[in-house]
Amino acid sequence: MGASLKQLENDTRRCLKQVHDNVHGDIHIDPLSLKFVDTQQFQRLRDLKQLGMTYMVYPGAVHSRFEHSLGVYWLASDAVNRLKDYQGWLGIDQFDIQTVKLAGLLHDVGHGPFSHMFEHDFLPRVCSGLKWSHEEMSLKMIDYIVDENYIDIGNEMLRKVKEMVVASRNPPSRTATEKSFLYDIVANGRNGIDVDKFDYIVRDSRACGLGCNFEFQRLFETMKVIDDEICYRAKEYLTIHKLFSSRANLHRTVYMHPKVKAIELMAVDAMIKANSCLDIVSCIDSPDEYWKLDDTILKTIETSSQPELKESRDLILRIRKRDLYQFCNEFAVPKERILDFKPVTPQAIICSQDSGDITLKEEDIAVTNVKIDLTRGRDNPLEIINFFEDYDSTKKFQIMDFRVSHMLPAAYQDVMVRVYSKKAELVGAVSKAFENYQLRTYGNLTQVHATPQKKQQRRLSFVLEEPEPDIP
Q: Verify whether residue 116 is a known catalytic residue.
A: no
Selection from 382, 402, 113 nearest residue 232 by Cα:
382
Report DSSP state, residue 53.
G
Task: Report the pLDDT value the prediction gives residue 357, as an integer from 0 to 100.
Answer: 75
Q: Which helix (H) or strand (E) holds 75?
A: helix 65-86
CB atoms within 10 A of CB 340: 7
Task: Report the pLDDT value the prediction gives residue 408, as an integer from 0 to 100.
Answer: 87
- How would you write the pLDDT of the chain (472 residues) with one tens digit per residue? 445 545 545 556 667 999 999 999 999 999 999 999 999 999 999 999 999 999 999 999 999 999 999 999 999 999 999 999 999 999 999 999 999 999 999 999 999 999 899 999 999 999 988 999 999 999 999 999 999 999 999 999 999 999 999 999 887 776 566 899 999 999 999 999 999 999 999 999 999 999 999 999 999 999 999 999 999 999 999 999 999 999 999 999 999 999 999 999 999 999 999 999 999 999 998 999 999 999 999 999 999 999 999 999 999 999 999 999 999 999 999 999 999 999 999 999 999 998 877 899 999 999 999 999 999 999 999 999 999 999 999 999 999 988 888 888 888 999 999 999 999 999 999 999 999 999 999 999 999 999 898 877 765 454 445 454 444 4
Catalytic residue among 134, 257, 406, 449: 134
Task: Report the pLDDT value the prediction gives residue 461, as an integer from 0 to 100.
Answer: 52
**What secondary structure, in 3-state letters, does 201-214 show?**
HHHHHHHCCCCCCC
Interatomic CA distance for residues 224 and 232, integer angstroms: 6
Count Cβ neighbours within 10 Å for each residue of 398-409 and write b for 16 or more, e otherwise. Answer: eeebeeeeeeee
List, for residues 12-67, the tens digit of each pLDDT value.
666 799 999 999 999 999 999 999 999 999 999 999 999 999 999 999 999 999 99
Task: Report the pLDDT value the prediction gives residue 463, as an integer from 0 to 100.
Answer: 47
